[in-house]
Amino acid sequence: MLLRTEKDTQDFAYRLAKELQPNDVLTLEGQLGVGKTTFTKGLAKGLGVKRNISSPTFTIVKEYRGRLPLYHMDVYRLENSMEDIGFDDYFFADGITVIEWASFIEDFLPKERLDITLRYADNDNQREITLTPFGEHFEQVVKALS
Ligand SMILES: Nc1ncnc2c1ncn2[C@@H]1O[C@H](COP(=O)(O)OP(=O)(O)OP(=O)(O)O)[C@@H](O)[C@H]1O
Ligand SMILES: [Mg+2]
Protein backbone atom coordinates (compact mmCIF):
# COMPACT_ATOMS: atom_id res chain seq x y z
CA MET A 1 0.00 0.00 0.00
CA LEU A 2 1.18 3.50 -0.83
CA LEU A 3 1.50 6.19 1.86
CA ARG A 4 1.67 9.53 0.07
CA THR A 5 2.51 11.84 2.96
CA GLU A 6 3.78 11.75 6.52
CA LYS A 7 0.17 12.28 7.60
CA ASP A 8 -0.91 9.17 5.63
CA THR A 9 1.69 7.16 7.54
CA GLN A 10 0.54 8.48 10.90
CA ASP A 11 -3.14 8.02 10.05
CA PHE A 12 -2.56 4.43 8.99
CA ALA A 13 -0.69 3.68 12.22
CA TYR A 14 -3.48 5.39 14.18
CA ARG A 15 -6.06 3.07 12.60
CA LEU A 16 -3.85 0.06 13.29
CA ALA A 17 -3.60 1.01 16.96
CA LYS A 18 -7.37 0.68 17.32
CA GLU A 19 -7.14 -3.01 16.37
CA LEU A 20 -4.45 -3.95 18.90
CA GLN A 21 -4.72 -5.86 22.15
CA PRO A 22 -2.42 -6.42 25.14
CA ASN A 23 0.88 -8.22 24.41
CA ASP A 24 0.84 -7.40 20.70
CA VAL A 25 4.32 -7.07 19.18
CA LEU A 26 4.96 -5.07 16.00
CA THR A 27 8.26 -4.95 14.16
CA LEU A 28 9.32 -2.03 11.97
CA GLU A 29 11.87 -2.52 9.23
CA GLY A 30 13.17 -0.06 6.69
CA GLN A 31 16.16 2.10 5.84
CA LEU A 32 17.38 5.06 7.88
CA GLY A 33 14.88 7.89 7.89
CA VAL A 34 12.15 5.98 6.05
CA GLY A 35 9.55 6.72 8.73
CA LYS A 36 9.66 4.07 11.47
CA THR A 37 9.54 6.60 14.31
CA THR A 38 6.94 8.66 12.42
CA PHE A 39 4.80 5.53 12.18
CA THR A 40 5.23 4.97 15.92
CA LYS A 41 4.01 8.52 16.62
CA GLY A 42 0.73 7.77 14.84
CA LEU A 43 0.43 4.48 16.66
CA ALA A 44 0.97 6.21 20.00
CA LYS A 45 -1.78 8.72 19.22
CA GLY A 46 -4.10 5.84 18.43
CA LEU A 47 -3.27 4.31 21.80
CA GLY A 48 -4.10 7.56 23.58
CA VAL A 49 -0.53 8.43 24.49
CA LYS A 50 -0.37 12.14 25.29
CA ARG A 51 3.40 12.57 25.51
CA ASN A 52 5.49 13.29 22.45
CA ILE A 53 7.31 10.25 21.06
CA SER A 54 11.00 10.81 20.48
CA SER A 55 13.53 8.51 18.89
CA PRO A 56 14.79 6.06 21.51
CA THR A 57 18.12 5.41 19.79
CA PHE A 58 20.22 5.98 22.89
CA THR A 59 17.97 4.21 25.35
CA ILE A 60 16.84 1.05 23.46
CA VAL A 61 13.39 1.22 25.03
CA LYS A 62 11.02 3.98 26.10
CA GLU A 63 7.71 3.48 27.87
CA TYR A 64 4.58 5.57 27.35
CA ARG A 65 1.25 5.50 29.12
CA GLY A 66 -1.92 5.23 27.01
CA ARG A 67 -5.08 3.11 26.72
CA LEU A 68 -2.45 0.37 26.78
CA PRO A 69 1.20 0.95 27.73
CA LEU A 70 3.44 1.46 24.71
CA TYR A 71 7.00 0.09 24.71
CA HIS A 72 8.94 1.73 21.92
CA MET A 73 12.24 0.01 21.16
CA ASP A 74 14.99 0.92 18.75
CA VAL A 75 17.49 -1.94 18.71
CA TYR A 76 19.77 -0.46 16.06
CA ARG A 77 22.65 -0.43 18.54
CA LEU A 78 22.23 -4.15 19.26
CA GLU A 79 23.28 -5.20 15.76
CA ASN A 80 25.38 -8.37 16.07
CA SER A 81 25.24 -8.27 19.86
CA MET A 82 23.06 -11.39 20.48
CA GLU A 83 22.35 -9.91 23.91
CA ASP A 84 18.97 -10.58 25.49
CA ILE A 85 18.20 -7.49 27.52
CA GLY A 86 15.01 -9.07 28.85
CA PHE A 87 12.79 -8.56 25.84
CA ASP A 88 10.12 -10.92 27.11
CA ASP A 89 9.62 -8.66 30.12
CA TYR A 90 8.20 -6.14 27.65
CA PHE A 91 6.51 -8.50 25.20
CA PHE A 92 4.38 -10.05 27.95
CA ALA A 93 3.78 -6.98 30.13
CA ASP A 94 0.24 -6.43 28.77
CA GLY A 95 1.24 -3.50 26.60
CA ILE A 96 2.03 -2.93 22.94
CA THR A 97 5.67 -3.32 21.86
CA VAL A 98 6.97 -1.64 18.70
CA ILE A 99 10.53 -2.49 17.62
CA GLU A 100 12.53 -0.47 15.11
CA TRP A 101 15.27 -2.55 13.37
CA ALA A 102 13.74 -5.72 14.82
CA SER A 103 15.76 -8.01 12.53
CA PHE A 104 18.78 -7.25 14.75
CA ILE A 105 17.10 -9.22 17.55
CA GLU A 106 15.46 -11.81 15.32
CA ASP A 107 16.20 -14.70 17.68
CA PHE A 108 14.30 -13.06 20.53
CA LEU A 109 11.13 -12.11 18.67
CA PRO A 110 7.87 -13.87 19.54
CA LYS A 111 6.36 -16.14 16.88
CA GLU A 112 3.06 -14.26 16.87
CA ARG A 113 3.65 -10.73 15.67
CA LEU A 114 3.04 -8.22 12.92
CA ASP A 115 6.02 -7.41 10.70
CA ILE A 116 5.82 -3.98 9.05
CA THR A 117 8.19 -2.89 6.30
CA LEU A 118 8.50 0.67 4.99
CA ARG A 119 10.21 1.44 1.70
CA TYR A 120 11.04 4.65 -0.12
CA ALA A 121 8.84 5.13 -3.18
CA ASP A 122 9.34 7.28 -6.28
CA ASN A 123 8.33 10.61 -4.82
CA ASP A 124 10.24 12.11 -1.86
CA ASN A 125 7.35 11.86 0.55
CA GLN A 126 5.90 8.57 -0.60
CA ARG A 127 6.43 5.32 1.22
CA GLU A 128 5.36 1.77 0.44
CA ILE A 129 4.15 -0.20 3.45
CA THR A 130 3.93 -3.99 3.69
CA LEU A 131 2.26 -5.86 6.55
CA THR A 132 3.13 -9.50 7.24
CA PRO A 133 1.01 -11.10 9.97
CA PHE A 134 2.12 -14.13 11.98
CA GLY A 135 -0.76 -15.82 13.78
CA GLU A 136 -4.53 -15.62 13.52
CA HIS A 137 -4.97 -12.47 15.57
CA PHE A 138 -2.67 -10.44 13.33
CA GLU A 139 -4.30 -11.89 10.22
CA GLN A 140 -7.56 -10.45 11.54
CA VAL A 141 -5.87 -7.12 12.25
CA VAL A 142 -4.58 -6.89 8.69
CA LYS A 143 -8.01 -7.82 7.30
CA ALA A 144 -9.67 -5.13 9.41
CA LEU A 145 -7.37 -2.51 7.90
CA SER A 146 -7.92 -3.35 4.26
N1 LIG B 1 5.08 9.31 3.84
C2 LIG B 1 5.93 9.50 4.86
N3 LIG B 1 5.89 8.68 5.94
C4 LIG B 1 6.76 8.84 6.97
N5 LIG B 1 7.68 9.81 7.05
C6 LIG B 1 7.76 10.67 6.02
C7 LIG B 1 6.90 10.56 4.90
N8 LIG B 1 7.21 11.54 4.03
C9 LIG B 1 8.21 12.23 4.59
N10 LIG B 1 8.57 11.73 5.78
C11 LIG B 1 9.65 12.24 6.60
O12 LIG B 1 10.65 11.23 6.72
C13 LIG B 1 11.27 11.31 8.00
C14 LIG B 1 11.15 9.98 8.72
O15 LIG B 1 11.94 10.02 9.87
P16 LIG B 1 11.82 8.94 11.02
O17 LIG B 1 12.63 9.42 12.16
O18 LIG B 1 10.39 8.62 11.26
O19 LIG B 1 12.50 7.68 10.30
P20 LIG B 1 13.08 6.36 10.98
O21 LIG B 1 12.80 5.26 10.00
O22 LIG B 1 12.56 6.20 12.35
O23 LIG B 1 14.64 6.65 11.01
P24 LIG B 1 15.80 5.89 11.85
O25 LIG B 1 16.20 4.72 10.98
O26 LIG B 1 16.89 6.91 11.94
O27 LIG B 1 15.24 5.49 13.16
C28 LIG B 1 10.58 12.44 8.76
O29 LIG B 1 11.35 13.61 8.62
C30 LIG B 1 9.25 12.58 8.03
O31 LIG B 1 8.73 13.87 8.10
MG1 LIG C 1 13.57 5.92 14.18
Q: What is the mean pLDDT of the chain?
A: 95
Span 114-140, pLDDT tens digits: 999 999 998 889 999 999 999 999 999
CA 125 to centroid of ligand 1, rounded, Å? 9
Q: Looking at the CA of 33, name the nearest ligand.
A: 1
Element (H, E) at 85: none
Query: Virtual CA dihedral for 143, 73, 92, 64, nearest 10 degrees?
Result: -90
**pLDDT value at 8 more than 90:** yes
Q: Which residues line ligand 1 (CB under 6 A)?
A: 3, 5-6, 8-9, 30, 32-38, 55, 100, 125, 127
Index of the ligand 1 atom closest to the CA of residue 9: 3
- pLDDT score for 57: 63
- pLDDT score for 85: 87
Span 50-86, pLDDT tens digits: 999 998 667 899 999 999 999 999 999 898 888 888 9
Give the amino acid at 97. Answer: T
